[in-house]
Chain A
Amino acid sequence: MIIIKDETDTKEAESYEGVRILLLTNGNMNGDAAGAALRLRNITGGKMAVAILGHSGESLREADATYYLDDPVFADSDCRASGRISVALIKKVFPCDYVVCGTSSAEGSPSSLAARIALGCDMEPVFNISGIDRSDDGSLRIIQNGTESKVSWKAVFSVSGGRWPEAVAEIREGRHLNRIDLGLGVFSVGAKGSKVLISKEVS
């Protein structure tokens, strides 16, 4: 594996006043979600940050900023606790206009995490999209279950299939954020902040 160490300028992305896009992922990049985030970046001309739920993992070559949500107390978080971590990131560190969910906790799905973020950040949840384009009036046009519709500014997407531009996954250096950085209490994250406990049964 080739490791490219690239110091992404997170401060520039954080202070950028145009459209901002956040891709949520875990250690393994979801190709569809990465492609959707890249498509959003290409359409809007905005800045894209990749937030990785974990201490290491692949970011994207095209990312303007990379965050590692990295704290031992984040371990064993269910969808509820993961949602709190994501909402805290958006509210405190990287306020954004569009979020693409490419990950979830083991028991949930990207859509279940997208719903938490949407309700937590007052954004529109848009599930299982398979295409994004810009409409004539400048708004975003999405394809969902074979039908087209428009979405408002500030939306959270989960992705299901579709043809997307190919994003290049890459190990990047980024900003490591822990519980204190995000202003979260011990009892709101990890197993203590979860309503579903997960145990390994069969390997």
Chain B
Amino acid sequence: MSEGCSGGSCSTCPGGSGSDGEDRLPPGMLEHYDLNTDTRKGILVFIQTEDGVPDASTAGILTLARNISDDRVFATAFGGVEIKERFKEIFALGVDTLYHMRNRDRGYRPLPWASAIMEVAERVNAAVLLFPDTRAGEELASLCAAKADAGICVRCMDLRMENGTMAAKKDLDTGTIGVRFVSRPAVIVASSTGLPAPVSDPGRKGTVINRPYSLEE
């Protein structure tokens, strides 16, 4: 290996790229690329609705997502045409892209819904999956974390990004614990207490993607 080469990609290295390695990087370029870096970015929020009306914690959850996101904020909302009336409200709260999940069967089905959310999460390469502190939110978060083999924190507060990883606190009967995710995606059920005050910008625009989902798991 020649002086100044740290990547083994110059022509003097055994098997180096000087003669026949057309598929290799130019000399010295390896040190510019950290191939082990997680490329996941942005937050995917589950918006729970009942007959087209978002859950009471939705505004706080979306504001929280906007505050902590290092990239775009995505959201999923399951339902029919009644959801359309809420698009402006959802975008005003900070969502960039809303996935409107549609199926003829409007009933809540945890496994197909979790599969559909995970398909979107993989598609947008989300770093954080954020769920409201509701029964459905906790169930879907549990299933998504299991499907993604990801870490989960249920009912956590004080969410923040620290050195590129999510950190939070959780109150237990015995005291408060600190939680730090060591990998992405992080699946989080945000406690309904301690959510930020909603910040709405009525002029914000966003994109809606209609996405049918299957009831087959």
Contact = CB atoms under 8 A, between A and B. Distances in A.
A195 B142 contact: no
A120 B181 CA distance: 22
Interface stretch (A38-46, A65-73, A78-86): A78-86
Interface stretch (A5-13, A105-113, A174-182): A105-113
Given A196-B180, A196-B182, A198-B178, A78 B146 contact: no
Contacts of A79: 145, 151-152
Given A107-B170, A202-B176, A203-B175, A196 B153 contact: yes
A114 B172 contact: no
B146 A198 contact: no
Given A79-B151, A107-B152, A108-B154, A127 B142 contact: yes
Given A112-B142, A201-B175, A195 B151 contact: yes
Contacts of A202: 175-176
Interface residues of A, number: 31
Given A107-B170, A118-B146, A200-B175, A112 B154 contact: yes
B30 interface: no
A194 interface: yes
Contact of A197 (B110, B146, B179): B179
Interface residues of B, number: 32
Q: Do most interface residues of chain A lie in helix, strand or loop, or is the interface mixed?
A: mixed
A125 interface: yes
A115 B177 contact: no
Contact of A115 (B145, B151, B169): B145
B147 interface: yes
A160 B181 CA distance: 27
Contacts of A115: 139, 142-143, 145-146
B149 A80 contact: yes
Given A111-B138, A194-B151, A127 B110 contact: yes
B111 A125 contact: yes
Given A107-B170, A112-B152, A119-B146, 15 more contacts: A107-B151, A107-B152, A107-B153, A107-B179, A108-B154, A116-B142, A116-B146, A125-B143, A195-B183, A196-B152, A196-B180, A198-B178, A199-B177, A199-B180, A202-B176
Interface of B: 110-111, 135, 138-139, 141-143, 145-147, 149-156, 169-170, 172, 174-183
14 contacts: A79-B152, A80-B145, A111-B138, A112-B152, A115-B145, A119-B147, A125-B142, A125-B143, A127-B138, A128-B139, A196-B153, A197-B180, A199-B177, A200-B175
Interface of A: 78-80, 83, 106-109, 111-112, 114-116, 118-120, 125, 127-128, 145, 160, 194-203
